[in-house]
Structure formats: C-alpha cells, structure tokens
Structure 1
C-alpha cells in the first residue's frame, strides 16, 4: 500500500516537491513517517530501500527523502555508507503500555533478556518518597532491588525497585538474574498483580546512568515511574526505570470513552 506524503505536499521522485511549507518542515514530516516505519519493523533486516524507491513509495522527491534521512542519521537512528546503503543502527523493540507485563515477557522472541543484579537487600529506613508511594507505616522497612537489564548482550534499561517487605523478602532467594519480578512476585506470594500507574518522562542521562546504559552523558532516555498493586489494590512495587530511547519504542492501544468528570 502506497503511503501518502505529508499534507500540503505533492510530487514524486521525477518531479519537484511542491509545497507552501518551509523546506525544513517538509523534511521533518517525512522523517516522522520514516521513523515510524523503522521503529515498527517495516524494513527487513534493518536495511532501508534506496532514496529513489523511498521517494516513489512516499510520493516525495529524492532531495526531500535525502534531507529526511539526514535528520534520522543525526538522531542516531540510521547510518549511511557508500556501497552499503542506509541501515538501522540498532533495532527498536516495542513495549506496550496497555498491559501489565515484565520486560522479558514483553520482548519474547526478540532475544535473551539478562539482568545484572546490582543491589538486592532489605532497607530498614526507605526514602520518604518510597514510604509514601507504598503506603508504609512509620518504621516499616522495604526491599531494594536494582538491575541493569540487557537484551542481546547490549544494555537496555536500569531498573530501581522498592518492594514492601512481605513481598520483597521472599524474592531475595530467587533467580533475579534471569526472571521478571512480576512473575516472581505472583509465584512467591500466591497473589495476582492487578494494576499499575505509569508515568513516562523524557530526561537526559546523568553520567553514571549513561555509563551503565552505554550511551553518552546527556543522551535522551525514557524515565518511567511505575507503581504496581496487587489484585486487592495494595501497592507493593515502586519502580523507577531508565530505558535507552534508541532501543525501545513505547506504544499503547487507546480507546475513546466518556470524558472524565472533573472533581469540584
């Protein structure tokens, strides 16, 4: 199926790209189309067609395609080499936000997810923010787990987790290097997880996080705050995840419903 070029533009590889929009804006719009196709796995083996073929498919001039590819190369998404062509630097994997699932479960079929366990121990006096998020009583302890997660041997995310003591202590004797915490929580507690509140931010990686994730300091990463509850509603797992934005694309299926009622 032929994709349409961005609105306000027309033409093809053999004719001029006619548009009232600024040249830079046209390139950015084309880059958006190509970025979506790349991150959704549209190009087998991570190799893009040539400029002429892309232009014909998108209804864009070859010059416009070249400028859009230059933007994606500057983002670090693709590389372009004479005699090799245009290739994706690293594959991006989709992680859905509309289902409560662990990383290894989500990425089944994309390679082995392994974990470097950097911390796993009880915390007698957790940070005040964690006490509040987990609804801990004064003086109540928690369990801290931090793991550097890799996919196919390359760093993917740094996960910092605090769990309520009754849920977290049994996990300390489990295989935290090869298992998702969600599955382990349900196995050891005999209780089902119910829901999670998730907040996603784009942040720049501090030097320590950047070194662990294998990116440059200041690189863009996803920062995800997630609070997971048991099926009975009790919060038991507060997580802060830093994920390489060049390796993971977040997606969700959203359904339109009635607008929420504003509280007075």
Structure 2
C-alpha cells in the first residue's frame, strides 16, 4: 500500500493542459516530494479515478507517461510501484565521483579491490603517452553510494604519480583531489566516451549483479592544465542506480551561413536504461 494518500487534488477541465498531463504532474510532484516512497505501491487505477474524478483511460495515460519517465514501474497483477530514484552526475565540469555525489548529499565509500604496478598495455600506454611495457599504477575500486555498490572503477596512472597515490587514503578520497592537493597536479580537461556493455563476472560480483547485466561504461582520459595525460579510467556504472546527464545546445547559423555554438555542452541530461 502507498505510504500516504494525498488529499484529493484539483484538476481543471477548462485548463489548456490536458487532464492526464495535470494528473501526471500532480503524481510526479508527490513522488519527488517523497509522499510515495521508493518501491511503495501507487493507488490503483480505480482509486485514482475516484481521487481525480476522471475516466480510467485518462488515468492510464498519466501512469503510462510516469512509467516512460522511469518514475514508476508496473508489476503484472499487483499494480504500479514507485521506482528507486537514481543518483546522477552532470558532465558540466571535471569532478570526481565522490566530489560530485558529496555535494548532492550522498554518502560515498570506496572499497579498494587492489593496487598494483603492471606493464602498460599498448592501449593504456598510448592513452597515457608512455612507452608500452613501462610500469603504470593500476587501481581497482568499488564505489559505494549510500552503502550500496554503484560503480566499479579501474584507474591507470604513470608510475611516478602512482607511487605518490600508494600512500594516499583511496578508501575515502577522490583520485582527482589527491592529484591536485597531494601531488600538486592541476587538472585541465578530460575526454569521455560512453557506451553500454554486459557485465563481466568479476565486475558483476563486485556490483552485486547477475553476469551479463547491462552496465554503463565510461572511458575517461584526464589531462593536467598543460594538456599532459595523467589519469586513464574505465568506469562501470550500474544502469539501475546511476546516470550521467548532459545538455547540448543547437548550433545557430550566423549571418554568413556558418554554424556558431552558443555553448556546446552546458548542463546535462542523458540517462541510461534501467536493468
């Protein structure tokens, strides 16, 4: 049963906004305000009909839109339930995961799976601009968001930086902040590539998922303020608990016909699919 049934809300048949959209907005606000807790059951279609004094098809349109937005999910024979809200990180500035999540009020803990020095593969060497086979630091960490595993992080750094990080507290601190504050490496920019993959067994176990479950994979190559590569990472995120968001602007045509961008990337809105 829902945790709390709100008082009967008012919808206006005379409004230019369709009734189903008014109902959807009301229910969305109730979900986001916490009136319906994650995984709690929403009122049934007949209860919502009575609550809003509208037809069943109108209620179904409103619930259908909420489901498309990922705010609710349906269980056959049992009704509609509130989805667990996802944490998200905007790709508007270069921030570490803990840095961004802490600002949003989340608790972050890192579980260090292992830290070793290993010969650089051809791909890692090319990304970090070091000789193939030279030693690089390889760090594996499980990131826990509010005490639940949300991502698996594999980080590669040049050996000299890795030696400095070996002494750092990787269980509680972001590597970005360690690089800047402990190693005096001012960060400049990062190149990202985002795709979806199936979870390999080791990563699935670490994230408490089934083998082959969908993951959001981020490849991130971070450079210092002089443009030198200092940190190459593979970030594997659970698609059901986290999303990266970005907003892009449409390039406008100038008077001479050339395209000019107001701001190519400004805020963020991109989301991965649920499991």
TM over 0.5: yes
- 1:54-93, aligned counterparts within 5 Å? 61-66=58-63, 78=73, 86-88=81-83, 90-93=84-87
Larger relative contact order, structure 1 or 2 (CA cutoff 8 Å, min sep 6): 1
Say which of 205, 208, 232 aligns to 2:199: 205
* Equivalent residue number for residue 42 of structure 1: 32
Does residue 242 of structure 2 align to residue 248 of structure 1?
A: yes
C-alpha distance 62-76 of structure 1, shift in aligned 2 (>3 A): closer
Task: Choose between structure 1 and 2: higher helix proportion.
Answer: 1
* Equivalent residue number for residue 121 of structure 2: 127
Secondary structure in 2 matching 1:209: helix
Distance 1:77 1:115 in 2: 30
Secondary structure in 2 matching 1:189: coil
Distance 1:148 1:169 in 2: 21
Please state how far the C-alpha of 1:63 moved relative to its aligned partner: 2.8
Superposed CA deviations along residues 27-52 of structure 1, whole A, max 9, x for unmatched, are xxx9xx99xx69xx834244686453
Instruction: Tell me whether 142-151 or 216-225 shows the greater mean CA deviation.
Output: 216-225
Secondary structure in 2 matching 1:173: coil
Distance 1:196 1:84 in 2: 44
Distance 2:53 2:117 in 1: 60
Q: Given that residues 162 and 237 in structure 1 are in contact (C-alpha distance below 8 angstroms), is that contact kept between their aligned partners in structure 2?
A: yes
**Under a length normalisation based on structure 1, what TM-score does the superposition of the two structures give?**
0.71
Q: Given that residues 102 and 182 in structure 1 are in contact (C-alpha distance below 8 angstroms), is that contact kept between their aligned partners in structure 2?
A: yes
Please state how far the C-alpha of 1:65 moved relative to its aligned partner: 4.0
- 1:191-230, aligned counterparts within 5 Å? 191-230=185-224
Please tell me the root mean square deviation across aligned C-alpha atoms, in Å. 3.7
Point out where structure 2 has 5 or more consecutive residues left out of the alignment: 1-16, 252-258, 262-275
Distance 2:67 2:95 in 1: 36
C-alpha distance 43-250 of structure 1, shift in aligned 2 (>3 A): farther
* Equivalent residue number for residue 106 of structure 2: 111
Point out where structure 1 has 5 or more consecutive residues left out of the alignment: 1-9, 14-29
Please state how far the C-alpha of 1:55 moved relative to its aligned partner: 8.4
Q: Given that residues 121 and 172 in structure 1 are in contact (C-alpha distance below 8 angstroms), is that contact kept between their aligned partners in structure 2?
A: no
Secondary structure in 2 matching 1:98: coil
Secondary structure in 1 matching 2:173: coil
Distance 2:42 2:190 in 1: 41
